[in-house]
Amino acid sequence: MMWYCPDEMRAKFSKLMSDMYQKEVPLYGDLVQLVSDVNENVLAHDPQVKEQLEQTGELPRLSLERHGAIRVGTAYELSTIRRVFAVMGMFPVGYYDLAPAGVPVHSTVFRAIDTDALNRSPFRIFTSLLRHELIDDEALRQTVSETLAKRQIFTKRALELTEKAEKQGGLNEADADEFVREVLETFRWHEESPISKDLYEQLHHQHRLIADIVGFKGPHINHLTPRTLDIDSVQSGMIERGITPKEVVEGPPLRACPILLRQTSFKALEENVVFTDGGREAGKHTARFGEIEQRGVAVTKKGRALYDRLLNETRAAIGGAPNEANRDEYMRILAEKFSVYPDTWDELRKQDLAYFHYFAQGRSDKKVTREDLPELIAKGLVRFEPIVYEDFLPVSAAGIFQSNLGKNGQKQYDIDSNKTLFEECLGAKVTDELSLYEKAQNESIEACLAVLNGEK
Ligand code: OOG
Ligand code: NI
């Protein structure tokens, strides 16, 4: 029996999610349109970018590309989400601790792992788990766990089909179709909140994010993010179209050779809710927004250390996280600090700062090995292209969280990261993202050498 392809399932799911979110948050639809206009323009005017994306197989995926984010409340919810996403070929990669940034969660990203699977559908979901131990009021912490224990965020059918997929090793087309529709239900927005307005306010007072996680029937998708090739144009385009962007673009500054990830978002919307515990009471909730990202090359451990150092220096220079008042100053210092970060693909490669795919451009007349790569590149027998960064950045993620939390989003948490606890709740280990880029680079070098040596 040939099962329906998990990559196809993920692509369908991502499309359904995007359609649903465009209906729920029409401004997101405007953003998708803006991004698609900007990308078309870049591809029409920058043949080098187009060629690079063609070579790495990323071009067809560009219009599909997006990530989403959800926040769950319990170990049961997290470990079940892991099982559900696995059916669609999405696995936990990386550990992000947001507590140092004042957000009471830790997170991972569910995504595809292989280069081919990523090119078929790069859809990823940033998934955060509430850290109950950061709720300092004991009675409230108790109420939170009781409230969360009462809810079931998955439909009965989604759970049945997940089990079926696990037992059989996959799903047939009809089941796969039903599965993606059933799973979508978990992420739908519900205007009705199962708790009372009074409890909502207590939770909100602890942290806005706690109210967002505990106050609803399920982990509504809180944003979706298309990928753009020119984030600065999208940022200014948003203002022209009357969409209010957050103050600063997170991540590295504008560069000739983009690294890692740059992100911006539009502010969360204030939405009507009805609290239903103990009678119906109207209220407001602010959580859902839209985001845009521009992805660059994945950097090595050394490249990441340099990135972290320059970013920390920039933030230290302005006294912490950037805000509306010091935005221009921040951008100026950021660009200045990053002027020492090599900005040609050649230098990034030579200094072992980034990961690349290698492509043979012919055959060699003698047997060649890895050590010959620099010479082969110089001779034009090998070309290389950046491996795109598929993951996230904790400082940027914190900035995205914060920009949507408003003033009382600033909290101080004095607690260590706890990847072990996170993995216990998840019921699995998270894969180290660097090992994946390393592997992709190695495989591409091996394949490239095989062609050069006439073995393929
Ligand atoms: C997740 C924020 C992190 C990103 O793109 O860095 C994120 C959230 O707000 O739940 O999505
Ligand atoms: Ni995001």
Q: Pick the ligand that lies closest to the CA of residue 107.
A: 1
pLDDT of residue 372: 96
User: Could you tell which of 400, 402, 433 is best to mutate to test the pocket of ligand 1, judged by most ligand atoms within 8 Å of the CB?
Assistant: 400
Express each pLDDT in 128-169 by its tens digit: 999 999 998 999 999 999 999 999 999 999 999 999 999 999
pLDDT band at 75 (very low <50, low <70, confident <90, very high): very high
pLDDT of residue 406: 63
Answer yes or no: is pLDDT of 377 > 90. yes
Angle (CA) 114-386-123 rounded to 5° is 40
Q: Pick the ligand that lies closest to the CA of residue 208.
A: 1
pLDDT band at 410 (very low <50, low <70, confident <90, very high): low
Task: Give every CB contact of residue 399 below 8 A, 6+ residues apart in sequence.
Answer: 246, 248, 250, 263, 321
| Atom number in ligand 1 closest to CA 291 | 5
223-226 and 66-72: which strand pairing? antiparallel
Express each pLDDT in 10-48 by its tens digit: 999 999 999 999 999 888 888 888 999 999 999 999 999
Express each pLDDT in 297-322 by its tens digit: 999 999 999 999 999 999 999 988 88
Helix (H, G, I), strand (E, B) or coil at 20: helix
* CA 169 to ligand 1 centroid distance, Å: 31
The letter for the amino acid at 16 is L
* CA 43 to ligand 1 centroid distance, Å: 28
Ligand 1 atom 4: residue of nearest CA = 397
Ligand 1 atom 3: residue of nearest CA = 397
pLDDT band at 64 (very low <50, low <70, confident <90, very high): confident
What single DSSP character describes residue 285? Answer: E
Ligand 1 atom 1: residue of nearest CA = 69
| Atom number in ligand 1 closest to CA 68 | 11
Answer yes or no: is pLDDT of 407 > 60. no
Expressed in angstroms, the distance from the first to the final Cα of the chain is: 31
Answer yes or no: is pLDDT of 190 > 60. yes
Ligand 1 atom 2: residue of nearest CA = 397
* CA 107 to ligand 1 centroid distance, Å: 9
User: Could you tell which of 93, 95, 111, 126 is best to mutate to test the pocket of ligand 1, judged by most ligand atoms within 8 Å of the CB?
Assistant: 126
pLDDT of residue 332: 95
pLDDT band at 416 (very low <50, low <70, confident <90, very high): confident
pLDDT of residue 424: 98
Lining ligand 1 with CB less than 6 A are 69, 71, 126, 128, 222, 263, 291, 392, 396-397, 400-401
pLDDT of residue 412: 78
Q: Pick the ligand that lies closest to the CA of residue 401.
A: 1
Mean pLDDT confidence for 172-179: 98
* CA 68 to ligand 1 centroid distance, Å: 8
Answer yes or no: is pLDDT of 348 > 90. yes
Q: State the angle between helix axes of 47-56 and 26-45 in degrees (0 to 180), rounded to the nearest 10.
A: 110
Ligand 1 atom 11: residue of nearest CA = 69
Express each pLDDT in 240-295 by its tens digit: 888 888 888 999 999 999 999 999 988 888 899 999 999 999 999 988 888 999 99
pLDDT of residue 441: 97
Q: What percent of the chain has pLDDT over 90?
A: 77
* CA 454 to ligand 1 centroid distance, Å: 46
pLDDT band at 58 (very low <50, low <70, confident <90, very high): confident
Answer yes or no: is pLDDT of 409 > 70. no
Report CA torsion sign: 344, 291, 106, 76. Answer: negative
Mean pLDDT confidence for 195-206: 96
* CA 68 to ligand 2 centroid distance, Å: 6
| Atom number in ligand 1 closest to CA 397 | 6
CB 231 within 8 A of CB 363: no
* CA 210 to ligand 1 centroid distance, Å: 15
Q: Which CATH superfamily is domain 6-295+391-431 in?
A: Uncharacterised protein PF07063, DUF1338 (3.10.180.80)
CB 251 within 8 A of CB 307: no
Domain boundaries, the chain: 6-295+391-431
* CA 69 to ligand 1 centroid distance, Å: 6
Angle (CA) 234-236-237 rounded to 5° is 60
Position with higher pLDDT, 53 vs 353: 353
Q: What pTM does this model have?
A: 0.95
pLDDT band at 193 (very low <50, low <70, confident <90, very high): very high
Q: What is the mean pLDDT of the chain?
A: 93
| Atom number in ligand 1 closest to CA 392 | 6
Which of 231-235, 298-302, 363-367 is predicted most confidently? Answer: 298-302
* CA 452 to ligand 2 centroid distance, Å: 41
CB 93 within 8 A of CB 109: yes
pLDDT of residue 40: 92
Ligand 1 atom 6: residue of nearest CA = 397
Distance from C-alpha of 83 to C-alpha of 121, rounded to nearest angstrom: 19
Distance from C-alpha of 182 to C-alpha of 135, rounded to nearest angstrom: 32
* CA 380 to ligand 2 centroid distance, Å: 39
pLDDT of residue 408: 54
Q: Pick the ligand that lies closest to the CA of residue 397.
A: 1
What are the φ and ψ backbone dihedral angles of 58, each rounded to 5 degrees?
A: -90, -15
Answer yes or no: is pLDDT of 239 > 90. no
Ligand 1 atom 5: residue of nearest CA = 397
